Structures are given as C-alpha cells and as structure tokens.
Amino acid sequence: MGKKLMVLLMSLFMLVALAACGGDDDTSGSDGTGSDDGSSKDVPMSEAWKDMDPEEIEGDLTVITNRTDIVDDVFQDYKEQFESKYSNVNVTFEALNDYGGDIMPRINTQDFGDVQYLPTELPVQDVPNFFEPMGTLEEMQEKYLGVEERAVNDTVYGIPIAVTYTGVVYNKAVFEEAGVTEIPQTKAEFLAALQMVKDNTDAIPLYTNYADAWPLTQWQGAVSTTAGTETYYNIDSLEDPRPFEAGDPHYDHYKLMYDVAEQGLIEEDPLTTDWEASKVMMNEGEIATMVLGSWALGQIQGAGPNPDDIAIMAFPNDADRTLFSLSGDYNISISKFSENKPAAFAWVDWFINESGYSVEQAGGISAAKDMPLPDTLADAEAAGAEFVMLEPSPEELKGKLDAIDKESEVGLWMPDKKQILIEAAIGNRDMSFDDVMNDWNDAWETAYNKVME
C-alpha cells in the first residue's frame, strides 16, 4: 500500500471518528447538556427545563406504561391535569402487557417513547446508552429515595414511580372490638393482641392464605424489620453460611409464623383459604391481620364498605429499631433519543410530585422525600417506625444471595418451604420448628460453600 493511500485512509478514519464523537456531543447537547445551538451547553436539560415557562414547553409526548388496567381511565385523568398546566404538550399513552418483554426489542430501534420505565432486563451498565441523565447521584439522593439502584457512574437515569414496603395490614375496628388499644410492636405484644382477637371477637386473628401459597412469600419482605438494620439483608446475611440458627434474624422471623399457627391464631382450615375472598373478609371485619406488602392496602380498602378501617403497621420485632424496609418500583425514565426532552422532564416531575400515583395506584409512598406519608402510615410513624432503603450489596457480593438461594432451593421468595412450616406448626408434619430450620440451614450451607468458594 502506497504512502499517499495510507495517509488518505488514515485521514478518512479520523474524520469518521471525529464525526462519531461530534454526533455524541450533538446528541448530549440536545438531550441533556444544553440546547442544540450550544447557547446553554453547560446546563443539562434536567435543569434547563425548569427555567422555561410552561407555555414554552411543547411537543407530542409518548408515555409508555405497564398499567394496562388503568391506562384508559386514571391515566386519562393524568393527561387532563398535566395538559392544563402544560397547554402546548399533547400526551398519549402506550400500555404494554409484558413490559420488559415488549420494550426490550424496541430499545435498539431508538423508538421506545419519550417517557417510559427503565427495563430491569437491560444490564445496568448499558443504561447510559439509551436513557437521559437526570442528575448526579449525590444531588438526587437528597431529593429522592431509591435512585441509587439503577445509577451508573454516580449518575441517575430514573426515579422510582413508587416506593413500597411490607408490614402487617390490620383492621382497626377489629382491634378496637378485641380491646387492643395500642399497636403491638414486639412479637410478644403481637401474639397477645391476636389472642385477644380470638377471645373477644369472631374474627380470624391472622389469615395466612396458605392455599394460594404466594401470600406466604410476603413475610420475606419484612425480614429486615426483624433484623432492625438496613444492612442485614444484602450484606450481613452473606457473612453467615447458616443464617437460620437460633438468634439469627431469619430464625426469629419465621419463628413468629410458626408460633402464630401452632397457637391456633390462624384460619381454622388453611387448606381452604382464598385470596380474593380474604380481601372482602378483612374489609368487613372477619380477619384482623395479614402480612402483606403495601401494594395490598388499596385492594383491601376497596374490597368493601370500610376502607377507613384498614391500615398497616410495622412487622412486630424485638430489635432496637423498628424499620419499614423500602423497595423501589419501576424507575421512570426518559429516552436519550426523545425530541421532546423539556416536555418529558416536565412529565416526570409532575408524575412523581403531583399525580398521587405512588399512593393511590401503587399502594406505596412517593420517592420524593418532601412528600408526606399517606394517612395509612400515620399511626406507624407516630409509634416511631423508620422508613429506610436497604443498603445494597457491595460490588463483589452482588447476585450472591440470589445464587445461594437458587442453588439451595430454600426459596426465600418462594412459598413451598413456608407451607411446610405451617404444616409442621398445625401438626400435619412430624417436624418441630428447629427440624425445619435445620433442613434450611443444611441446604443453605451446601449452596453457600459452592457459590462463595
């Protein structure tokens, strides 16, 4: 190859490389770091839109959601409210039945709406390739809960549309009839309260929903409350190859499930329970308590004529701190390729701070730290409960807990082993609580040594 041809090819290569770099700069100028003409190149769009008059913000905005159940009514109300504030924006919605499965094929086409949710199927390191930065992790953590989960290189690309939690959903009227005057906080107080319900009312003290099985998995969401620390679940538990020994949080946590069943404080025949019926029964005062996530509050409140009787309390525990461990829902995000970024940021801000979605439709709390807690948590807050995000696993331990759980077949988030626990407690299996825990420990230790070697 001649020297002139070599020089020409190298020059062409450099031009292509520079064009590619320039394209990235142009894209970030139009989608995040300033305007297309470079007049405000140092101001990211996540901040620039706030200085615009609502009348200046315009465009046809496509918002993609997973809520096929409310896209034709609740979301149409959102559209009306938002467009009354931003009159030059027209919002349309697209609801996906299988959100992750439906949106992932569209990611590489760059045609996935203006506003959507960060798909959990997308490797977190690839998020910056497709989604618009919303701010630094440090500044966003001052304003919002749960933004660290999908952050990349200390940059946030999404905000949880709701933050959910697990506790004990209870019927206040049943407690009052039973003579329970204060929210039980310790395990002993909880067992005593359930006994008062059994003695003084016709209500079932605690409904396990054994037959449907999956409701038993909800207990796992409150393990951090039993532990009394936000570091237990993702960090501390991985230091112990046998986490179901006496005195361990998991042991103490599931001992309460066993004790409630053994003492006859559950439904008379667990084999005939029914989830859909249980919501109505609880609303009408036939059930005192169920261990569930906050998502269930709205369903139970709406299942009958007594929504004001239904509230949620922290899982009973003997720790020094009473925690509601919080977990982020889908993260609302903005396409890096959107041509309507000011409108997209306006929608995200309005949806998180003004729509009421997190409480009214997701049964959680808002990710915005300055938003008040819902009324259903007022008593828990007054009793001193803390609301905390769990500490994530350090990089070297990420995925280890799930791997051990899968390998061991203990199934922390599966119902099978919990059903065995109930069966042992009511005498349908010739096993003590410690027998069950020893089985879990042996399986876990074998898997732990394999995964952590």
pLDDT band (50, 70, 90) for residue 121: confident
Rg (CA), the chain: 26
* Cβ-based neighbours of 309, under 8 Å, separated by 6 or more: 171, 172, 173, 174, 283, 285
For residues 321 and 395, the model is more confident at 321
Distance CA 423, CA 416 (A): 11
Classified as helix, coil or strand, 318 is: coil
Residue 19 backbone dihedrals phi, psi, to 5 degrees: -60, -40
Closest by Cα among 303, 280, 312, 291 to 214: 291
Environment class of 167 (CB within 10 Å of its CB; exposed 0-12, middle 13-18, buried 19+): buried
Residue 160 has pLDDT above 50, yes or no: yes
What's the predicted TM-score (pTM) here? 0.77
Cβ-based neighbours of 448, under 8 Å, separated by 6 or more: 241, 404, 408
Check whether 10 has a pLDDT greater than 60.
no
Task: Using the Cα atoms of residue 453, residue 237, residue 163 and residue 349 in order, give the sign of their dihedral.
Answer: negative
User: Measured between alpha carbons, how far is 160 from 150 in angstroms, rounded to an integer?
Assistant: 10
Q: Is residue 215 predicted with pLDDT exceeding 50?
A: yes
Q: Which two tokens stand for residue 176?
A: 């009052």
What DSSP designation does 38 have? S
Band of residue 35 on the pLDDT scale cut at 50, 70, 90? very low
For residue 309 the two structure tokens come to: 């009787």
70, HSE (Cβ side, Cα atoms, 13 Å) = 12
Q: How many CA atoms lie within 13 A of 87 on its CB side?
A: 3
CATH architecture of 164-327+393-451: 3-Layer(aba) Sandwich (3.40)
Helix then strand then coil, % of the chain, to nearest 5: 45, 15, 40
Give the range with max mean pLDDT: 9-23, 32-46, 102-116, 393-407. Answer: 102-116
Contact 351, 65 (CB under 8 A): no
pLDDT at site 386: 87
Q: Could you write out the DSSP letters of every residue in 59-123?
A: EEEEEEES-TTTTTTHHHHHHHHHHHHSTTEEEEEEE-SSHHHHHHHHHTTT-S-SEEE--TTS-
24 pLDDT tier (thresholds 50, 70, 90): very low
pLDDT score recorded for residue 41 = 55
Domain ranges, ordered by start, for the chain: 57-160+332-364, 164-327+393-451
Q: Which CATH number fits domain 57-160+332-364: 3.90.45.10, 1.10.3720.10, 3.10.28.10, 3.40.190.10?
A: 3.40.190.10
* pLDDT at residue 43 in the model: 84
Length of the chain: 453
Residue 148 banded pLDDT, cuts 50, 70, 90: confident
Q: Which pair of tokens denotes residue 43?
A: 């101001």
Asked whether the predicted pLDDT for residue 29 surpasses 70, the reply is no
State the DSSP code for 155: E
CB atoms within 10 A of CB 336: 20
**Nearest by Cα to 66 from 100, 92, 91:** 100
317: pLDDT strictly greater than 50: yes
- Asked if the domains 57-160+332-364 and 164-327+393-451 are classified in one and the same CATH topology, the answer is yes
Amino acid (one-letter) located at 281: M
203, burial (CB in 10 Å: exposed 0-12, middle 13-18, buried 19+): buried
Residue 272: the pLDDT is: 95
**Which residues pair with residue 287 across a beta bridge?**
204
Nearest to 150 by CA among 172, 128, 182: 128
pLDDT single digits (tens) 318-370: 999 999 888 889 999 999 999 999 999 999 999 999 999 998 888 888 999 99
Percentage of the residues of the chain whose pLDDT score is greater than 90: 75
Cβ–Cβ < 8 Å for 27, 130: no
The percentage of residues in the chain with a pLDDT greater than 70, rounded to a whole number, is 91
Average of per-residue pLDDT across 177-205? 97
Q: What is the DSSP string of 195-220?
A: HHHHHHSSSEEE---TTT-GGGGGGG
Tell whether the model's pLDDT for residue 27 goes beyond 90: no
C-alpha 241/C-alpha 446 separation (Å) is 8
- Split at pLDDT 50, 70, 90, the class of 170 is very high
Q: Nearest-CA neighbor of 250 among 231, 222, 230?
A: 222
User: Considering the chain, what is the average pLDDT of its residues?
Assistant: 89
